[in-house]
């Protein structure tokens, strides 16, 4: 007997403003600058290996904001709302600028297998953090990915690159293809 659970009706926030993109790019720039200044004398394989976790967390954040909803999607939506608000306040009150909406026109969504892959990736990230300890650079890059995942410009390219790949891999592994 198959038991169908009712869907959670948690409202989603799927708009990104120029302020949100500014915050996302600022978080990305912070960690990239710190990485660059500590590795600029010799860019070796070790230097790129030190950058890989930040890039993976950036991609993970973009996947979170592309999730359909639920508890994890709602936390990503709340984070997007927060980065939008912080960026909007800084742009409007700090510089006297404006903050138009820069969300892409077509919504990119994950497939059911992609959603399953996001859960598996979440478990892996929690396992790594529980073993090695809490890392703010991971949090910054997840927030950057959340802020940039829906953007319509080059900043949103991470969503276009990651979502189809994860959806395909999740569908393939789960046997949905």
Residue 153 covered by a domain: yes
Question: How confident is the model at residue 156, as a pLDDT?
Answer: 73
Residue 11 covered by a domain: no
Question: How confident is the model at residue 27, as a pLDDT?
Answer: 93
Q: What is the mean pLDDT of each run of 10 residues along the chain (177 residues)?
A: 54 75 92 82 72 87 83 86 90 86 76 88 87 82 89 77 86 79
Question: How confident is the model at residue 161, as a pLDDT?
Answer: 82
> In terms of residue numbers, what domain contains 162?
18-34+51-174
Residue 43 covered by a domain: no
Residue 156 covered by a domain: yes
Q: How far is CA 103 from CA 60, 95, 97, 122, 130, in A?
A: 19, 22, 18, 25, 34
Residue 149 covered by a domain: yes
Residue 40 covered by a domain: no
State the pTM of this model: 0.83
d(CA 12, CA 15): 9
Residue 151 covered by a domain: yes
> Which among 17, 62, 55 is positioned nearest to 47, based on CA atoms?
55
Question: How confident is the model at residue 16, as a pLDDT?
Answer: 85
Question: How confident is the model at residue 108, as a pLDDT?
Answer: 74
Domain count, the chain: 1
Question: How confident is the model at residue 103, as a pLDDT?
Answer: 78
Residue 44 covered by a domain: no
DSSP string covering 67-114: S--HHHHHHHHHHHHHHHHHHHHIIIIIH-----B-B-SSPP---HHH
């Amino acid at each position: 007997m198959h038991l169908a659970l009712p869907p959670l009706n948690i409202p989603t926030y799927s708009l990104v403003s120029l302020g949100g993109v500014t915050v996302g790019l600022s978080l990305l720039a912070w960690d990239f600058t710190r990485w660059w200044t500590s590795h600029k004398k010799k860019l070796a394989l070790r230097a790129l290996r030190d950058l890989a976790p930040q890039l993976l967390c950036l991609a993970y954040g973009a996947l979170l904001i592309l999730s359909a909803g639920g508890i994890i999607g709602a936390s990503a939506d709340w984070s997007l709302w927060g980065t939008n608000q912080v960026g909007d306040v800084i742009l409007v009150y700090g510089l006297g600028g404006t903050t138009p909406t820069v969300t892409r026109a077509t919504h990119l969504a994950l497939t059911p297998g992609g959603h399953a892959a996001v859960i598996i990736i979440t478990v892996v990230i929690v396992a790594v953090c529980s073993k090695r300890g809490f890392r703010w650079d991971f949090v910054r890059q997840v927030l950057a990915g959340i802020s940039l995942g829906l953007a319509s410009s080059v900043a949103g390219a991470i969503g276009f690159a990651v979502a189809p790949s994860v959806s395909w891999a999740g569908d393939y592994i789960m046997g949905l293809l």
